[in-house]
């Protein structure tokens, strides 16, 4: 495990230097800052486990520092140093979420023990978090809803590759479940107890991304006040998931190629070579072959990342899964919102099945959550759906051309049979049962309307 890092924040240089010596001898990495602002700068560049801070300092107080650290999502524990007689400060500190406090003059043994306990508690918490992730991840795999043959094939690939170090490229439009599949691969591998680090390559500017991934050494660029390990180092023994890989700059592509080929890299501004045992999973919703043809993605890198690829189908190609997913999201939304809605009425389900879902599963989940909020009864009705889903659904009902009944009913009949066939993956037996007709009637009507099943892919 990496050496725990302690940051001392005190405007008194004597306090700082004596703590550096005392805690340094205990094997911790110790940094110091004379005030809250400098401490916050440190936190941007270094992972800190424990902050030991004076309460009253010029400028930002210790309490303000604690608030700012939490606002920025930091999780180091804070130990406050307070003057003898200011016991109410100490109580306030604990209430604000500090780990503990010590009273001046500082007793070396007391602070050593406190820091030791604090670090032990942190590592226990981290272990629990890993375990929880692992359990959630496993459940996530079970919770991957979908029985369409296309999904069945994907599950088989996930199972086959999970426990290998093979690089996996997951492609497919946004919202089709790429991230979920990446997690399923990690949590079904023997790396499950090690970290899964997810990086959205599209969300950071190039230079920052490079330092995020590979770390940097002190002085590598303005603001790099200390060494910072990168995500490839932190993911050692585990998995790194590089999302939106198509956005990687040419310089980053070269570094990625090296890491994939030789499993080694250098930090930004550093000369030392690090070896890492990381499983790499990548995702993109852009066609990488096209980018290769346009010279925007390195061919050699493409071959390295495209060892095993999983192509997530858009939701409109998994019609039979829509009711399953809809019911799954209905249950989740009801739990989250404390509602009791049991189902969708038949018309609503039909609308859900025939909407093209450009935003795929994410859009379906959002639509259902919104409907649950709006629904008044124990069923979701079409009135609870957003307007764009209802466009075009009333064509049949509003047709004003009066035709002989036999002819007027042909188009709706054809539509119903086609929907039922698609719903049942063109299984005629199931379709005939669903429509409550015998199979020969179904075959006759399929011939009449020219309904043929699409070729298997
Ligand atoms: N098979 C599935 N079963 C249940 N929920 C799913 C399934 N696939 C996706 N989801 C849910 O749909 C949402 C979108 O999935 P996810 O984030 O994995 O998509 P994505 O392809 O990674 O999208 P993007 O390209 O935008 O990153 C998530 O809330 C996810 O939990
Ligand atoms: Mg994603």
Which ligand has its closest atom nearest to the C-alpha of 183? 1
Q: Which CATH class is domain 316-393?
A: mainly alpha
Which residues line ligand 1 at a C-beta cut-off of 6 Å?
A: 143-146, 172, 174-180, 285, 328, 361-362, 365
Which ligand has its closest atom nearest to the C-alpha of 360? 1
Q: Which atom of ligand 1 is nearest to the CA of 361?
A: 12
* Cβ pair 304, 261 in contact under 8 A: yes
pLDDT tens string 33-84: 999 999 999 888 788 999 999 998 888 999 999 988 887 777 899 999 988 7
pLDDT for residue 142 = 60
* Cβ pair 265, 308 in contact under 8 A: no
The CATH code belonging to domain 5-125 is: 3.40.50.2300
Indicate the SS3 state at residue 221.
coil
Give the mean pLDDT of 232-239: 92
pLDDT for residue 399 = 40
Q: Which CATH class is domain 399-448?
A: mainly alpha
Residues near ion ligand 2 (CB < 5 Å) are 178-179
Average per-residue pLDDT in the chain? Answer: 88
Nearest CA to ligand 1 atom 16: 177
Burial (CB < 10 A; 0-12, 13-18, 19+), residue 394, is exposed
pLDDT for residue 89 = 77
Tell me, in angstroms, the distance from the centre of ligand 1 to residue 178's CA: 6
Nearest CA to ligand 1 atom 26: 174
What whole-number percentage of the chain has pLDDT above 90? 56
Nearest CA to ligand 1 atom 8: 177
Instruction: Please state the domain extents for the chain.
Output: 5-125, 151-312, 316-393, 399-448
pLDDT tens string 335-385: 988 899 989 998 899 899 989 999 999 999 999 999 999 898 899 998 899
Contacts of range 404-412, beta carbons closer than 8 Å, 24 or more positions apart: 410/449
Tell me, in angstroms, the distance from the centre of ligand 2 to residue 290's CA: 21
pLDDT for residue 220 = 80
- pLDDT tops 80 at residue 136: no
Common-topology check for domains 316-393 and 399-448: no
Alpha helices in 306-357 (DSSP H): 321-337, 346-354
pLDDT for residue 91 = 77
381 CB neighbour count, 10 Å cutoff: 15
Give the mean pLDDT of 151-177: 93
Produce one character per residue of 80-94: b if its CB has 16 or more CB atoms within 10 Å, e if not: bbbeeebeebbebbe
Q: Using most ligand atoms within 8 A of CB, pick from 153, 177, 244 the residue to mutate for ligand 1.
A: 177
Which DSSP symbol is given to 243?
E
Of 79-83, 394-398, 447-451, the poorest mean pLDDT is in 394-398
Tell me, in angstroms, the distance from the centre of ligand 2 to residue 373's CA: 25
pLDDT confidence bin for 131, thresholds 50/70/90:
low
144 CB neighbour count, 10 Å cutoff: 16
- CA distances to 15, 70, 85 from 103, rounded to whole Å, are 13, 24, 9
* Cβ pair 196, 343 in contact under 8 A: no
pTM above 0.85, yes or no: no
Q: Using most ligand atoms within 8 A of CB, pick from 145, 154, 173, 179 the residue to mutate for ligand 1.
A: 179
Tell me, in angstroms, the distance from the centre of ligand 1 to residue 118's CA: 37
The CATH code belonging to domain 151-312 is: 3.40.50.300
The residues near 297 (Cβ < 8 Å, ≥ 6 apart) are 246, 248, 253, 288, 291
pLDDT tens string 311-342: 999 999 998 899 999 999 999 999 988 899 98
pLDDT tens string 83-103: 877 777 777 888 788 888 888
């Amino acid at each position: 495990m990496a050496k725990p890092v302690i940051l001392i924040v005190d405007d008194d240089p004597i306090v700082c230097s004596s703590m550096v010596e005392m805690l340094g001898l205990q094997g911790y990495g110790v940094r110091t800052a004379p005030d809250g602002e400098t401490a916050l700068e440190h936190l941007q560049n270094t992972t800190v486990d424990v902050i030991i801070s004076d309460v009253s300092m010029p400028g930002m107080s210790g309490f303000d520092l604690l608030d700012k650290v939490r606002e920025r999502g930091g999780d180091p524990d804070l130990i406050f140093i307070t003057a003898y007689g200011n016991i109410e400060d100490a109580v306030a500190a604990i209430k604000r979420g500090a780990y503990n406090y010590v009273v001046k003059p500082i007793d070396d043994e007391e602070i050593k023990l406190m820091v030791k306990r604090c670090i032990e508690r942190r590592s226990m918490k981290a272990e629990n978090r890993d375990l929880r992730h692992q359990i959630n991840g496993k459940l996530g795999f079970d919770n991957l809803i979908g029985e369409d043959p296309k999904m069945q094939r994907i599950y088989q690939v996930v199972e086959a590759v999970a426990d290998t170090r093979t690089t996996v490229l997951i492609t497919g439009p946004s919202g089709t479940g790429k991230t979920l599949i990446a997690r399923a691969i990690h949590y079904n591998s023997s790396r499950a107890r090690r970290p899964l680090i997810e990086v959205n390559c599209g969300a950071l500017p190039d230079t920052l991304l490079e330092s995020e991934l590979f770390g940097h050494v002190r002085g590598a660029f303005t603001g790099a006040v200390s060494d910072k390990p990168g995500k490839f180092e932190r993911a050692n023994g585990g998995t790194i998931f590089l999302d939106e890989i198509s956005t990687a700059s040419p310089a980053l592509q070269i570094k990625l190629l090296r890491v994939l080929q030789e499993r080694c890299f250098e930090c930004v501004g550093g000369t030392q070579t690090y070896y890492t045992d990381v499983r790499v999973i990548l995702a993109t919703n852009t066609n990488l072959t096209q980018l290769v043809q346009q010279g925007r993605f390195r061919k050699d890198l493409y071959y390295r990342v495209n060892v095993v690829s999983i192509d997530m189908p858009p939701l409109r190609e998994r019609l039979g899964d829509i009711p399953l997913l809809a019911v799954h999201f209905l249950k989740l939304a009801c739990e989250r919102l404390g509602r009791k809605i049991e189902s969708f009425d038949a018309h609503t389900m039909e609308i859900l099945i025939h909407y093209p879902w450009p935003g795929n599963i994410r859009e379906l989940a959002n639509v259902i959550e919104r409907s649950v909020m709006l629904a008044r009864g124990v069923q979701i009705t079409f009135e609870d759906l957003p307007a764009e889903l209802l466009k075009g659904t009333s064509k049949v009902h509003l047709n004003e051309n009066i035709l002989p009944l036999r002819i007027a009913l042909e188009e709706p009949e054809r539509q119903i049979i086609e929907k039922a066939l698609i719903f049942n993956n063109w299984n005629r037996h199931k379709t005939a049962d669903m429509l409550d007709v015998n199979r020969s009637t179904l075959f006759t009507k399929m011939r009449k309307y020219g309904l043929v099943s699409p070729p298997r892919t």
